[in-house]
Amino acid sequence: MHGRPRKAPKPEEEAASVAKAQKLRALQTQFFSFHHNKIYTKEAVELSAKLLEINPESYTAWNYRKLAVEHYLSQPDCNPDWIKSVLDDELRVVENALRQNFKSYGAWHHRKWVISKGHSSIDNELRLLDKFQKADSRNFHAWNYRRFVAESMKRSEQDELKYTEDMIYKNFSNYSAWHNRSVLLSALFEKKAEGFLSKEKVLPEEYEFIHQAIFTDPDDQSGWFYHLWLLDQTVTTDSPLLASSWPGHGYDVFLVEDRCYNGSAFSPFTALHSDSGSFPIVLYFNQPVGGVSSSTVTVECGFNKNEDLLWKPLSASNSQTARVWVAHLKIPSSDLLSTVEVSVGHSKGIISTRGFEYSHPSMFSFKVHVQPMERDFSQVSVAESISLREENFKIYGSQSEESIINSFNQLSIKNGHESTASNWRSEALAKEIECFRELLSLMDCKIGKLTLARLLMAYDVMSYPFANKLVHSEEVLELCSDLMKLDPTHYQYYKDEHSMVLLQKVTSSKESLLQHCFQYKDSVSSAICGPICLRLNNLSLSRMGAFEKLLWVQMLDLSHNELQSIEGLEAMQLLSCLSLRNNKLRSLTALEPLRKLKLLRVLDISYNQIGDHSIDTTRYLCSSPLSHSVGSESNKDETVTSDVALIDNWEAFYIFKDFNLNQLEIVGNTIADEKFKSVLVKIMPKLKQLDGKLLG
């Protein structure tokens, strides 16, 4: 069935197909007249059968037959025998149609519909399926229908599992069979069926099974797909977990209204400047969850009522599930030292997208210090101008090593929940790693290298809480670099993986992270010391990641990388100053994640490729801003949108209108001409500095 080259039709074949088309057209015309006049006589119904046997793709004819069946069944003199004969007729027509084309969606669907009526014997169906699955063992229509039949018959998953095994033994190059196996195993795990109580027992056997296929023929893709599913089953814990939060447990959070912190008084890692009268609490889960609210998360503090807190998901798609959730605590205007306790998941309701309940209730607490405003706020801000130039950074120094380490230690959130349960998981991974190292010692194999990289990463992540470092990151980076050379078609994918691993590595230990922490010190301004700036510049990153470890970052330098997307950056709620200078951002819509950063004041997107390409391809990849988010919000700005210049630049309007920027650098992008800049000034009235020029 597969891998047959298409041949050009011979003249006589073409003639035959013309004749067939003519016949079909005549049938169709007649059929439509019956259909529109709701004629369900024997002749009319037989005509539709004829039509379907020639062209099983005629959906209208299938629907007509459904109507005809309903019509017959609604007759007053209808008895069970007659119903059965009507439905048997339908099954016969479907079978004939399937002989013509066994991949006809309409025909398989019609069969399901007839069987669902419950008057036909289902036993026949398995026999029919055996025939079709013999003719083409990978026919996914047949496999799909098989699942339906098995369920209707209440055939046990164990029996079906045996069937997939038999099919796989006949020819293991069968995606459908492997897929069905994963579906059946998932069902058995969920049911906690006998022998399938724990993945711990079943998965190693499945690994053993798939190794036979992968080692026998590593060039066959079907086995690798199943292996990927197994890896996912091994790595993913069913119930979601809280990966990190801001503030973390035991933090001392200093809220100040002045950017000029006194370094000796509080840690630069946890001091926060806020001019909005509130500060965020960020929850970062290990997988997307829904149901985070004031009833599932309790925040106890002296200055806010829990019920008043509004938890919002931070996701690009505006769905009600996200890995990151945020709520804002209002800052009281008086001097304050208060302890805040956050309990997550003590009452039910937080549920992963796969339907698993958050089952490890956790609690963390931190202290908040508030200093009341001493100076006129606006005065200070005007004078300030932040310039992320090399000379303004000092490597975060040795002068107060101990305090740094102490405050730095606060940043990691310990999570001991899975420590005992995941023993078998890391054992399974270790075994897999050994296995694929062996395969690669035998032969060069791209997917083998990728799989080994994935395994090593998964193993490192799993053992991180114990080892406290990523043992294999150098090897994984090497594998990724190797793959970029070996498989240029998927260069970008490997590059992204490389970036993620590199970021994991940088953030994995305090030593490595500290190398990227700089202190911002403006040479002109009088400020002695500013916040910590995390500089991840010049790393040739194509993607940003490791957000769970970077929630504390307020100043981030991502300049001189190869970023095309900054997906996920919305998690970094504390960001006030961001440089994306000299990257490969190609459109304004790529800046979408920044809209959710309410504290962002300084943004540098100079020297990117915004406007280079007249067609913004990201718009096709992401959900269209017009169809979703814009609709409701844009109404209130009707006066603005009536401006012609803004309508022409609706993208700019949509992206920038929610920004609270003081300072923007956009020079070096095709889009950034004078006209565009004037539009920006219009959109962002609060903007004080554009491309280094103070705005009046």
Partner 1 sequence: MDDIPPYPPIDPTTFDLIVIGTGLPESIIAAAASTASKSVLHLDPNPFYGSHFSSLPLADLPSFLSSHSTSPSPPHSPSSDDPNEFSLLEFATRPLYSSIDISTFSPNLLDQHSRKFNLDVAGPRVLFCADKSIELLLRTGTNQYMEFKSVDATFVGDNKGNLWSVPDSRAAIFKDKSLGLVEKNKLMRFFKLVQGHLAGEQDVKISEEDLQSPFVDFLNKMGLPPKIKSFILYAIAMADYDQEDTGVCRDLLKTKDGIDQLALYNASIGRFQNASGAFLYPIYGQGELSQAFCRRAAVKGCLYVLRMPVTALLVDKDTGCYKGVRLASGQDIFSQKLILDPTFKVTLPLGSSPPLPLKEKLPFFSLKDDKGKIARGICITKTSLKPDISNFLVVYPPRSLFPEQVTSIRLLQIASNLAVCLPGMFVLYISALCNDDDQGKKLIHAVMNTLLTVPLDSESNAAVQSETAEIGSAVQDETSESSSGGPSDSGEEKPTLLWSALYSQELTLGQVDFICSTPMPDGKLNYNDLIDTTFKIFQEIYPEEEFFPETSLENPEVDGDASPET
Where do contacts with partner 1 occur on this chain (CB under 8 A)? Answer: 169-172, 211-213, 215-218, 435, 438-439, 442-443
Q: How far is the CB of 172 from partner 1 (least distance, A)?
A: 5
Beta partners for 246? Answer: 282
Least Å distance between CB 106 and partner 1? 30
Separation CA 516–CA 156 (nearest Å): 57
Which position has the token pair 């996914």? 140
Q: How far is the CB of 231 from partner 1 (least distance, A)?
A: 17
Amino acid at 387: S
Cβ neighbours of 137 (radius 10 Å): 18
Contact 435, 456 (CB under 8 A): no
Q: Cα dihedral angle (35, 39, 44, 47), rounded to 10 degrees?
A: 0
User: Minimum Å distance from CB 166 to partner 1?
Assistant: 11
Rounded to whole angstroms, the maximal C-alpha distance in the chain is 97
Rounded least distance, CB 570 to partner 1, Å: 45
* 151/217 with CB nearer partner 1: 217
The nearest distance, CB 486 to partner 1, in angstroms, is 16
Q: Which is nearer to partner 1, 218 or 313 (CB)?
A: 218
Number of H-type helices and E-type strands within the chain:
24, 19
Q: How many residues does the chain have?
A: 696
> Is residue 519 packed enough to be buried (19+ CB in 10 Å), middle (13-18) or exposed (0-12)?
buried
Query: What's the closest the beta carbon of residue 169 comes to partner 1, in angstroms?
Result: 5
Helix (H, G, I), strand (E, B) or coil at 83: helix
Residue closer to partner 1, measured from CB, 181 or 560: 181
Q: Which is nearer to partner 1, 102 or 172 (CB)?
A: 172
Supply the minimum distance, in Å, between the C-beta of residue 173 and partner 1.
8
Take residue 379 and report the two structure tokens written for it: 């005065």
Between 216 and 347, CB nearer to partner 1 = 216
Alpha-carbon span 257 to 274, nearest angstrom: 6
Residues 6+ apart with CB under 8 A from 114: 69, 87, 90, 91, 94, 120
In terms of CB distance, is 212 or 670 closer to partner 1?
212
3-state class percentages of the chain: helix first, strand second, coil last, to nearest 5: 50, 15, 40
C-alpha 449/C-alpha 446 separation (Å) is 5
User: Cβ of residue 167: shortest distance to partner 1, in angstroms?
Assistant: 11
* Residue nearer to partner 1 on the CB measure, 215 or 491: 215
For partner 1, the closer of residues 121 and 171 by Cβ is 171
How far is 516 from 291, CA to CA, in rounded Å? Answer: 36
Tell me whether residue 438 or residue 673 sits nearer to partner 1 (CB atom).
438
